[in-house]
Amino acid sequence: MKKSVILLIVIIMVLVFILAGCAGSTRESKKVVVAQQYGLGYAPLIVVQERKLIEKYYEGAQVEWIQLGSGGTIREAIAAGTVDIGSMGVPPFLIAWDKELGCKVISALCRMPLGLQTYHKEVETLDDITPDMKIALPSPGSIQHILLSMACKKQLGGPTALDDQIIAMTHPDGANALINEVEIDAHFTSPPYIFMELETEGIHQVLDAERDCFGGTFTFLVAIGTEEFRESNPRLFKAVADALDEAIAWINENPDEAAELLAEVMDMEPDEVYKQLTWEGVQFSKNPEGMLEFLDFMKESGYVTKTTDDVSELIWDNLDYRKAN
């Protein structure tokens, strides 16, 4: 009898702890956690951080910056409630939207040249890729993966034609492997790694994302904000939006200065960063482009379960829906 009473108490206590843990932490409203990744595309966020722009628009704001390795990880952190503002490629965000994680785009970050490179001379189109060749990209569901699927649909007839040949690798690992011609046969990547690869002798491009995959220009990365954060502190939310606006405008107006600041943070030469910032196809803008087209394709191919024609379902109202698509 006594034993079962003790057991009951233990079970109840465990349940109480579990449920208490689920209650969600009530955060101090002046605090915002921003998650970013590595790469040139995150330049607007780096500028916001270095020039303390959120603090400029919201006095006393406590901004915590964390750096995570992939959009998937940032999405998980958002879902778990530990990140307020995240950044990722458009498709990972659309997957989050599809799963109703309660976040929308607060600002687009950039347009960038993405592409698939190989060192196999005989590979000129996707048709030339043999079944034993491996294609590295950051992860399934990443923008690189969806772009490859788009090209597969166009050139090979089915979006998943090469899915079984994909290998998940971080950009630096993939670039290293491709340049040294080990482990992988092709690499779908973004700046600055795509620049490194294209400048290596013997490596050529098989797919240019805008020309061969998407068929037009599109936004590469977006910053997203959670509904919870927006509701708990609308003024701070606005400050983040304004900070991103200013950062993007500043990079566009002062590429020299921006290159210097980024070079210091990214531990690169200012000249090199300047060259990349002004590379053809690199553009920083707060207005997202091509999201609806990505969504349609992902729905058609079964990567998400729903779609929409209304871009305002995907962006917060600090952005002009007439300038987004």
Q: Which stretch binds another protein (CB under 8 A): 41-49, 138-146, 221-229, 288-296?
A: 138-146
Q: Between 169 and 244, name the residue whose CB sits nearer to another protein.
A: 169
Which residues in 179-198 contact another protein (CB under 8 A)?
182-184
Strands 115-118 and 186-189: antiparallel
Phi, psi at 39, each rounded to 5°: 135, 165
Binding to another protein in span 101-130, by CB under 8 A:
101
Q: Is 221 in the site for another protein (CB under 8 A)?
A: no
- Lay out the site mask for another protein across 69-98 (x = CB under 8 A, - = otherwise): -x-x--x---xx-----------x--xx-x
Which of 228, 239, 223, 288 lies closest to 34, judged by CA?
223
Q: Which is nearer to another protein, 134 or 323 (CB)?
A: 134
CB of 209 to another protein, least distance (A): 19
Part in contact with another protein (CB under 8 A); list of ranges 13-21, 118-126, 259-267, 278-286: 13-21
R_g over Cα of the chain: 22
CA dist 32 and 152 (Å) reads: 40
Is there a contact between 102 and 24 (Cβ–Cβ < 8 Å)? Answer: no
Contact segment (CB under 8 A) with another protein among 165-173, 236-244, 277-285, 307-315 equals 165-173
- Judge contact between 213 and 126, C-beta under 8 A: no
**Out of 1, 5, 23, 199, the residue judged to bind another protein by CB under 8 A:** 23
Is residue 105 within 8 Å of residue 314, measured between CB atoms?
yes
Q: How far is CA 141 from CA 89, 137, 166, in A?
A: 10, 10, 11
Of 34, 152, 144, the C-alpha closest to 91 is 144
Tell me whether residue 168 or residue 263 sits nearer to another protein (CB atom): 168
Closest distance of CB 259 from another protein, Å: 33
Q: Establish whether the linkage from the previous residue to 131 is cis, with ω within 30° of 0.
A: no
Counting contacts by CB under 8 A, is residue 99 touching another protein?
Answer: yes
Answer yes or no whether residue 161 interacts with another protein by CB under 8 A.
no
* 166 belongs to the binding site for another protein (CB under 8 A): yes
Q: Which of 89, 145, 113, 94 is nearest to 210 (CA)?
A: 113
Residue with Cβ nearer another protein (134 or 154): 134
Contacts (CB under 8 A) with another protein, residues 278-307: 303
Contact status: 15 vs another protein (CB under 8 A): yes
Query: Residue 100: is it exposed, middle or buried by C-beta count within 10 angstroms (0-12/13-18/19+)?
Result: exposed
Decide: is 18 part of the binding site for another protein (CB under 8 A): yes
- Exposed / middle / buried, residue 174 (Cβ in 10 Å: 0-12, 13-18, 19+): buried
Q: Which residue among 1, 25, 122, 131 contacts another protein (CB under 8 A)?
A: 131
Binding site for another protein (CB under 8 A): 15, 18-19, 22-23, 70, 72, 75, 79-80, 92, 95-96, 98-101, 131, 134, 139-142, 164-169, 182-184, 303
